[in-house]
Amino acid sequence: MTADSRLLSVLGMLAAGRTYSATELAARFGVTPRSIRRDIASLRELGYVIESLPGAAGGYRAQSRTVLPPLQLETGEALATAVGLALLNGAGLGTAHANSATAKLRAMLPPTMRETIGDISTAVSVLPGHEPGVDMTAVMTTTSAIASCNVLTFTHEKRRPTGSATTRRRVEPVRMVVLGAHWYLYAWDLTRADWRVFRLDRMSEVHETTFAFAPRNHPDAEAAVSSAVTTNAYRHTVILGVDATAAEAEAWFPTRTATITETDEGARVEFGVEDLTWAAVITAATPVDFRVIEPPELLTALRELGERATRVSRSGTSRSD
């Protein structure tokens, strides 16, 4: 690899937001740490803002939203990028950014591929009323803070049956998770000293600070968001043992409304409901045998549902006679 190629590669790695030590980069490119330090000095001379972080966990890190290096995309990479931009544009997310990025992408490609990219940009649409209700600026700010390990502040609206309330939050962001029709942020809440889940469409005044944090060991973000959305937000948590595989159970209990795991005895299905009568209807529709693990009150609701179905059936038979 030439010195110029290495310079671009180093910039590309730093632009992703991660911190690298001179030793790590030297091992990656097969050069000495001294060569890496010269590369960093050259990038700074070109105007790139690259910080030097002290300590055992320190190293080099590009300032958030550093100008990206020139891109060299293979055909598949260019097409994948074009599809992603078309999805953003079709969903109404960051339309201005998506359009300008598509124009730049087309300008750097050969004529044949340029036509293909143009076709892709008009091949995706989202029906009115189904656009993700998130602010693309908030998404970009949040992802930048996650990548850079910077504290994020925002105003969060919490809605309750009695009304809504807003609070100012200061968090260490970990992951954004898309579940169902919503985008969620999983983060460590510095005020409450606990892990929390926030819906992005209820976040406003999103700001990435310059305060860096050391990543914490954390639970699985996707599982935490799924649990918060499918169970914790409801009055009752239903847990079933289903005589089926997890893949089969997903057809009856979609993962956007239930947490489904594989066990030695079949699938374990967990979901939240406000009304156990409705839970009984959902459970009774399961086409295979199941066991109610929690709550015991669901058994009563299932029994009452069965008695009601029997009464309706008898009533219908009497009228036909």
Percent of the chain with pLDDT over 90: 14
Q: Round to whole Å and give the CA distance between 238 and 244.
A: 17
CB 184 within 8 A of CB 176: yes
Q: Round to whole Å and give the CA distance between 167 and 207.
A: 14
C-alpha dihedral, 312 to 313 to 314 to 316, nearest 10°: 80
Instruction: Please enumerate in sequence order all residues whose Cβ is within 8 A of that of 123, keeping only pairs 6 or more positions apart, or say none.
Output: 86
Average pLDDT over residues 75-101: 67
Six token digits for residue 45: 């001379």
pLDDT at 207: 93
pLDDT at 181: 66
The architecture that CATH gives domain 234-310 is 2-Layer Sandwich (3.30)
Give the chain's mean pLDDT: 79
Q: Is 205 exposed, middle or buried (CB count within 10 Å of its CB: 0-12, 13-18, 19+)?
A: exposed
Domain 142-215 matching CATH 2.30.30: the answer reads yes
pLDDT at 9: 81
Q: Round to whole Å and give the CA distance between 160 and 148.
A: 33
pLDDT at 14: 80
The type of residue at 301 is: A
Q: What is the CATH number of domain 3-62?
A: 1.10.10.10
Q: How confident is the model at residue 130 (pLDDT cuts 50, 70, 90)?
A: low
The type of residue at 156 is: H
pLDDT at 172: 95
Closest among 160, 195, 190, 159 to 177, alpha carbons compared: 195
Domain boundaries, the chain: 3-62, 75-121, 142-215, 234-310
The crossing angle, in degrees rounded to 10, of helices 276-284 and 297-320 is 70
Residue whose token pair is 């409304």: 257
The type of residue at 305 is: L
Collapsed DSSP state (helix, strand, coil) of residue 91: coil
Q: Round to whole Å and give the CA distance between 108 and 228.
A: 44
Instruction: Report the run of H or E that residue 248 belongs to, with start and end.
Output: helix 246-249
Q: How confident is the model at residue 64 (pLDDT cuts 50, 70, 90)?
A: low
